[in-house]
Amino acid sequence: MKTALAVLFASLAVSAYADLCQNYWWKCGSDDWVQNKETKCQDEDVRKKCPLLCGVCSEPEPEPKPAEMQALSGSAISDYNALSSGGTKHNVKTISFGSLRFKSPPTIVLGTSYLDTHHGANIRLNINYQHVTTTGFQINFGKWGSDTHIYQVGVKWMAIGEKA
């Protein structure tokens, strides 16, 4: 019921508005309007009374151009045996976008593509990105625990952002 009343009141308001504009001087869209648009548009009173039905006599604001986006992708592999039980706790790889640039630092998405571990060891792995710039970023392969033995880790990455 509320919806029906809202539609009724909206249509009455539009109808009254159309009558006001139609009776003001001319019916918008008529031959008279098209031929004399520039002259009639100079009248500020016309622009105020009929902005919706008759237009405001100026070109509409252009739609903002959507940002041109780009997505780059690749893969990275940790150094072999770098995350073994006797190895370091971190292995960092620097990724460069080459000659391509982003307008601002892009959003980075990482996914593990493979994991090579020792069959009798725990698997404690942390992979994240850091130092994201318009030209590249770093992938940090990390592990914890003295009984963790990871031979190698592969990741796929994607950088998504506005083209420079």
- Rounded Cα distance, 122 and 119, in Å: 8
Output b/e per residue, 38-48; b: 16+ Cβ within 10 A: eebbeeeebbe
Q: Tell whether the model's pLDDT for residue 5 goes beyond 50.
A: no
Which tokens hold the place of 137?
């970023």
What token pair was written down for 57?
């006599």
pLDDT in tens, 53-63: 445 444 556 78
The letter for the amino acid at 159 is A
pLDDT at 26: 47
What was the pLDDT predicted at 83? 84
> Has this prediction a pTM greater than 0.85?
no
Looking at residue 124, its amino acid is: R
Q: Which is more confidently placed, 114 or 42?
A: 114
Question: Considering only 12-21, 35-44, 81-90, 122-131, which range has the smallest mean pLDDT?
Answer: 12-21
Looking at residues 24-48, what average pLDDT do you find? 57
User: Based on the number of CB atoms within 10 Å of its own CB, is 94 exposed (0-12), middle (13-18) or buried (19 or more)?
Assistant: exposed
* CA angle (94, 101, 98) in 5-degree steps: 45
